[in-house]
Amino acid sequence: MWAWALRLRHLDVSLCPLLAGPFTLLPPGLLHLNASFTALGGGVPPLPADLLTLDLLAAGLEQGIAGAKEGPGGGWASVGRLSYVDVGSNALTGPMPGGGRGMEGAGGGDLGGGWGRGREQA
C-alpha cells in the first residue's frame, strides 16, 4: 500500500474533515503523523518503530489502540522514540499502552471509553 512512500517521513492530513476510513497501515519510515480533525474512525493502527510524534486529536477514533496491552512489555515498547501523543477528543476503548523507552512510569491501564478525551502527552 505504501510502496511509493517508503521515504515518507512527515504526513500531515490534519484539518481534512472529509478524510474518512481508518489507517490500517502506516509508512514504515514515518517520523511524524498529524491526522487531527479528520473522520478516520476505527482505532490507532500499528505504529512505525521510529515514530516520534502522533497527533490524532479529534480524528473520530472509536476503537482501540493496536498493540496496546497491560503489563511489562506491553503497549508501545517497540516505538521507543515516541515523544508526543495526542489522541484527545476521541472515543477510544480498551487497554491504554504503557512502557517502552522514554515512557517509563506510563504504566498500563484501560481506556474505558474516556482516555482519549483529553490532551495526552507521553
The whole-number pLDDT of residue 65 equals 82
Number of domains in the chain: 1
The whole-number pLDDT of residue 111 equals 45
In angstroms, rounded to a whole number, what is the distance separating the alpha carbons of residues 55 and 37? 10
The whole-number pLDDT of residue 68 equals 64
State which residues form the domain around 109: 1-122
Structural element, H or E, at residue 96: strand 95-96
Which is it for strands 109-110 and 95-96: parallel, antiparallel or unpaired? antiparallel
The whole-number pLDDT of residue 2 equals 57
Q: What is the pLDDT along the chain (122 residues), one digit of tens a residue?
A: 556 677 899 999 999 999 998 888 888 889 999 999 999 999 888 888 899 999 999 999 998 887 665 555 455 667 778 889 999 999 988 777 764 443 333 333 444 444 444 444 43
3-state helix vs strand vs coil in the chain, percent to 5: 5, 15, 80
**Virtual CA dihedral for 10, 6, 2, 91, nearest 10 degrees?**
-40
The whole-number pLDDT of residue 28 equals 86
